Amino acid sequence: MNYNELTRRYFESARGAGTLVGPGVGRGAAGKRTQGTWVQFDVEADRANAAPPLIAAARFCAFGCPHTIAACAWVVEHAVGLRLDAGLPGGVREISRIFAVPVEKLGRLLTVEDAWLAALAAARLSCV
């Protein structure tokens, strides 16, 4: 598989990999390793901020192809400062475009989106 420069850069550095713990952290996961793609996001809410809370930090753990890992790293990098109800930064179409994800891999990006939305929902609950 031939990957574009941005995919290689985000995959090779995988900045934002890891986990978060503590109050205000929500965790969401989607996919299955046996199906080739599993993603987990941890999102920390800025609990001191007025409603709606903002994302203070985000991390990911993932099992998948370079496109999946690169997309996860890009999402956590671009999420800080966004509202907890903002959804997936850039959206699936934009992430697919910037990383030149082939159409047969779009399901992997939907797994990324599902895990992200689950983490946001859990982070919002931690603020209640």
Q: Where are the domains of the chain?
A: 5-126
- Residue 27 has φ and ψ, to the nearest 5°, of -120, 135
Calculate ∠ Cα 120-122-124, nearest 5°: 70
CATH class held by domain 5-126: alpha beta
Mean pLDDT of the chain: 93
Residue 51 is predicted with a pLDDT of 73
Beta strands in the chain, from DSSP E residues, in sequence order: 25-32, 37-46, 54-63
Looking at residue 1, its pLDDT comes to 75
pTM comes to: 0.94
Q: How confident is the model at residue 48 (pLDDT cuts 50, 70, 90)?
A: confident
CB 18 within 8 Å of CB 116 = no
The predicted pLDDT at position 116 comes to: 98
Structure tokens that stand for 90 in this block? 């850039």
Q: Over the stretch 62-118, which tens digit does the pLDDT of each residue have? A: 999 999 999 999 999 999 999 998 899 999 999 999 999 999 999 999 999 999 999
